[in-house]
Amino acid sequence: MPDYRVSLAAPADTEAIYALLAAAGEMLAEQGFANWTPPFPRERIAADIALHAVWVVRDADGALVATYALREAPVRPYDPAPWSEPAAPARYLNRLAVDRLRHGRSIGRWCLDHIAAGCAREGVRAIRCDVLAANERLCRFYEGAGYVARGSRQHSGWEFTCYEKMLGARC
């Protein structure tokens, strides 16, 4: 596996993150999943960067290979909460995207492993996300990384499967 470096995104990263998310949305749309189109707005990316919620993954040459958002609270509330331990310290993962030209190189899995290791070091008990339910391939990706489907929810006109990965011993 190549050497990747993860850091909080800086305001100067906004345009590159936007381009990566837009390309990911185009790729999903080509597969029949248009939930990432139109692209995630630049203004929201910039606002999330200001909140220290966006991360970038770069290769040894400094090229952006992936991005994701990780928060202490969900962007949209889960009501009712489908989680196995709703009160457990958790992080909420959104917008994990890998550079279109680098798909199939296990970068997404590397990101999930890196996120889990960092969260475990911080004492986080669970990582939670939701995935477009119709995207069976992406659901299998999360399940293969140890995420468990805990229910479903609707938002923005789409149905999503709620996933949770429990980490380490109980807090």
Has residue 123 been placed in a domain? Answer: yes
Has residue 151 been placed in a domain? Answer: yes
Has residue 52 been placed in a domain? Answer: yes
User: Among residues of the chain, what percentage have pLDDT more than 70?
Assistant: 97
Q: Which pLDDT score, from 0 to 100, does residue 169 have?
A: 57
Has residue 27 been placed in a domain? Answer: yes
Summarised one tens digit per residue, pLDDT across range 88-129 is: 999 999 999 999 999 888 999 999 999 999 999 999 999 999
Has residue 87 been placed in a domain? Answer: yes
For the residues 29-50, what does the mean pLDDT come to? 94
Q: Which pLDDT score, from 0 to 100, does residue 171 have?
A: 38
Q: Which pLDDT score, from 0 to 100, does residue 97 have?
A: 97
Domain CATH for 131: 3.40.630.30
User: Among residues of the chain, what percentage have pLDDT more than 90?
Assistant: 89
Report d(CA 28, CA 33) in Å as an integer. 5
pTM for the model stands at 0.94
Strands (E), the chain: 5-8, 54-58, 64-71, 90-98, 126-132, 148-155, 158-166
User: Domains in the chain: how many in total?
Assistant: 1
Has residue 113 been placed in a domain? Answer: yes
Summarised one tens digit per residue, pLDDT across range 119-128 is: 999 999 999 9
89: preceding bond cis by omega (within 30 degrees): no
Whether pLDDT at 147 is above 80: yes
Has residue 171 been placed in a domain? Answer: no
Has residue 51 been placed in a domain? Answer: yes
Q: Identify the domain containing residue 60 by its residue range.
A: 5-166
Neighbours of 131 (CB within 10 A): 22
